[in-house]
Amino acid sequence: GAGVSQTPSNKVTEKGKYVELRCDPISGHTALYWYRQSLGQGPEFLIYFQGTGAADDSGLPNDRFFAVRPEGSVSTLKIQRTERGDSAVYLCASSLTGVGNQPQHFGDGTRLSIL
């Protein structure tokens, strides 16, 4: 398909472990976003990439969270020393150039459960 692809769809791991979540944006989209959605809440912004660079990482909750996009397409969100409070659905979105009036297209998310 031509949409945003996220893998894995589900991830269950133990507290303290390291996890990587992958996002494959729509081909040609230079802007890529990560959001986190907790139960009963709307998605909350984590980080924004324009090309290879993180243009805004103000939403990352702490230094256990890190994201990369080395070639300007696929992005990986990395969480170290996971905690139970990290359990949520992690959503990735992309848009053509990142201009505000271009809608962001979302993947189906990775449901992360920390035991």
Interface residues with another protein (CB under 8 A) are 4, 6, 31, 33, 35, 40-45, 48, 55-56, 58-59, 91, 93, 95, 98-101, 103-109
Q: For another protein, give the closer residue by CB, 41 or 80.
A: 41
Q: For another protein, give the closer residue by CB, 33 or 65.
A: 33
Q: For another protein, give the closer residue by CB, 37 or 76.
A: 37
Instruction: Retrieve residue 113's tokens.
Output: 């459960």
Q: For another protein, give the closer residue by CB, 1 or 14.
A: 1
3-class SS string, the chain: CCCCEEECCEEEECCCCCEEEEEECCCCCCEEEEEEECCCCCCEEEEEEECCEEEECCCCCCCCEEEECCCCCCEEEEECCCCHHHCEEEEEEEECCCCCCCCCEECCCEEEEEC
Minimum CB distance to another protein, residue 16 (Å): 27
Minimum CB distance to another protein, residue 81 (Å): 26
Minimum CB distance to another protein, residue 48 (Å): 4
Rounded Cα gap, residues 89 and 43, in angstroms: 9
Minimum CB distance to another protein, residue 92 (Å): 8
